[in-house]
Amino acid sequence: MNLQFLSKPAYFSKDIKPFIVDEKLVRGASILSPFKIKKAKEKGVTQIIDLRNSAKISGCVEKLLCNMFGIKYQNYKFPHRQKHLPSKDFFEEINKTIVNNEGKTYVHCQYGHHRTGLAVAIYEKLHSVKSESEIVENMICNGYRELISSKKTQKEKKYLQLYNQMIDVYFCK
């Protein structure tokens, strides 16, 4: 899917706040506050999927808070410096965990941008009726702004490479 059809989306948030993907999935940044975990629980979140690879202390804090509030905590390690898309099995396991959850799942990486964006786009492709252009626009608006940047930094090249791999594997059949 070529990005040329996309103009700059009207909505760009500076900080990724919890964003409702559908009735089963909410995305955002990591939650390290008891108040925010409690609020997530009140909104129906029964499971948190953490995509961070190296969040030793913050991951332990989040897991402890989840246990305190009766929320299931899952960690699927997705290295943020990775230049290649993880295997289909990796995303199949995440999607199975989301779909099999009785309540809402909250998915995040550190800031809720890139790893979360890829995971959510793949989930939407496999489990929603959204069009491919709507999925890509959601992905860009909620963290993958580098895809429409005119800069050609190493970081932007890496994100474009991951995006292209995702499109090749999940959108082109």
- CA 125/CA 120 separation, integer angstroms: 8
Per-residue confidence (pLDDT) for residue 15, from 0 to 100: 46
Per-residue confidence (pLDDT) for residue 143, from 0 to 100: 79
| CA dist list (Å): 110 to 82, 147, 157 | 14, 19, 20
> Which two tokens mark 136?
């890509």
Q: List residues bridging with 47 in a β-sheet.
A: 72, 105
Going by their DSSP bridges, the two strands 25-28 and 104-108 should be labelled as parallel
| Tens of each residue's pLDDT in the chain, 173 residues | 544 434 333 333 344 467 899 999 999 999 989 999 999 999 999 999 999 987 677 778 999 999 999 999 999 998 877 788 999 999 999 999 999 999 999 999 988 889 999 999 999 999 999 999 999 998 988 878 877 877 778 888 888 899 999 999 999 86
Per-residue confidence (pLDDT) for residue 13, from 0 to 100: 39
Q: Specify the CATH number of the domain 13-79+87-145.
A: 3.90.190.10
Domain boundaries, the chain: 13-79+87-145
For the chain, what is the total number of helices (H) and then of strands (E)?
Answer: 6, 5
The count of other CB atoms within 10 Å of the CB of residue 2 is 6
